[in-house]
A and B are shown apart, each in its own frame.
Chain A
Amino acid sequence: MSTQDKFEMPWQYSFPPFFTLQPNLDTRKLQLDAWCALVLSYFRTHRLCVIDVNESQSSPLFSNTTLNRKLSPETISVILDELRKTGNLEWIDKNKRRAWVLWKSVDEW
């Protein structure tokens, strides 16, 4: 699909510390905002709507093999939690293993 080819990772994706949850709260806020935006645009471009927490750990979204950096499961759940707060994510099951990623608001769907 042509849209997939065009998808460009933001600069942060090649910035190694982006994959480590930042201790400075201001910096962390920026980091999480960037991650949320990245997750949403990634899902939108690839026309995906379900995220599986276990599988996502190895997906290229959260793991940059060229840099040899990946997000830890804890960090991933922090990001998903952020997305839930902004209304872009809804858990499908009670154990929080799978979720809908809503890159449009519910009204738009």
Chain B
Amino acid sequence: MNRRVGIGAIDKKKLTEARFRDRGEELAADQLRQLSSQLGTLKSKVEEFAEKHKNEIRKNLEFRRQFQEMCASIGVDPLASSKGFWSEMLGVGDFYYELGVQIVEVCMATNHKNGGIMPLEELFQRVVRSRRKTSGQQLSTDDILRAIDKLKILGNGFTLIKLDRGRILVQSVPGELSLDQNQVIQVAQETACITVLDLKVKLKWQEERSKKVLQDMVSSGFAWVDLQAGVGNSDIVYWFPTLFSASFNSDATS
């Protein structure tokens, strides 16, 4: 009894489909119109907002963080491009790009001392110090992390190494730390130094493995050897200038 298989039926089906399509397009166009008008409104609202709070955003770090969080929740990246609407209006882009450049400068200036790895806190202090003359802008470690995140776009130059209790090391030289090297840094973080014996006790590593990792760290400049520790002198102590806190008060080179 199925009579709807003739040409007529097919035509009819096509017709309905076409109608649906037209209607669909109409709806979409409508939405698009609405959306673009909404965007227009949003834009003018933001312009208004920017007009009022521009300085606030540049100067006040808490405000900046909140603004960033809002952008993240609606899926907008205010830093994505310097031509972006947000950065043009608010200068958020400039702020972070400038910060990015300063971070790179600080890292280069201290590279010789720490082999390219520096605690976030120290990086922050140094950047603050170098900016002191130029502006009254407040800065937070959060800003530094955001800027570093942007720097990653340039390739694998910057890496963050997470330690206990929220401490973070910023690595500014290419070449990732191996998993083993990472573990060594984790174990050494409190004292800034380590021996083959420590690794044997704490990580249950074979002597050969420990020696190799430590030697590699010495040859890449992350670690310094100390042959004068202890009475027996049998053990070499490996020190990490990066983790050594007295190093922080320094400064002729920066």
Contact = CB atoms under 8 A, between A and B. Distances in A.
Interface of A: 10-12, 14-20, 22-24, 26-27, 30-31, 68-70
Given A23-B218, A24-B221, A30-B112, A15 B247 contact: yes
21 contacts: A11-B246, A11-B248, A12-B247, A15-B239, A15-B244, A15-B247, A16-B226, A16-B229, A17-B226, A20-B225, A20-B226, A23-B225, A24-B219, A24-B221, A27-B218, A27-B224, A30-B112, A31-B224, A68-B228, A69-B226, A69-B228
A42 B241 CA distance: 23
A15 B221 CA distance: 15
Interface string B198-218: 000000000000000000001
Contacts of B248: 11
Interface string B223-254: 01111110000000101010010111110100
A69 B246 CA distance: 16
A30 B116 CA distance: 14
B112 A22 contact: no
A15 B240 CA distance: 10
Contacts of B252: 10
Contacts of B250: 10-11
Interface residues of B, number: 22
A14 B225 CA distance: 14
Contact of A11 (B227, B228, B247): B247
A22 B249 contact: no
Contact of A16 (B112, B219, B237, B247): B237
A12 B253 CA distance: 13
B193 interface: yes
B225 A19 contact: no
Contacts of B237: 16-17
A22 B225 contact: yes
B228 A14 contact: no
Contact of A19 (B228, B247, B249): B228
A30 B218 CA distance: 14
A36 to B, nearest CB: 13
Given A26-B221, A30-B112, A19 B226 contact: yes
Contact of A17 (B112, B219, B221, B225): B225
Contacts of B239: 15-17
A20 B228 contact: yes
B54 interface: no
Contacts of A30: 112-113
B247 A22 contact: no
Contacts of A20: 224-228
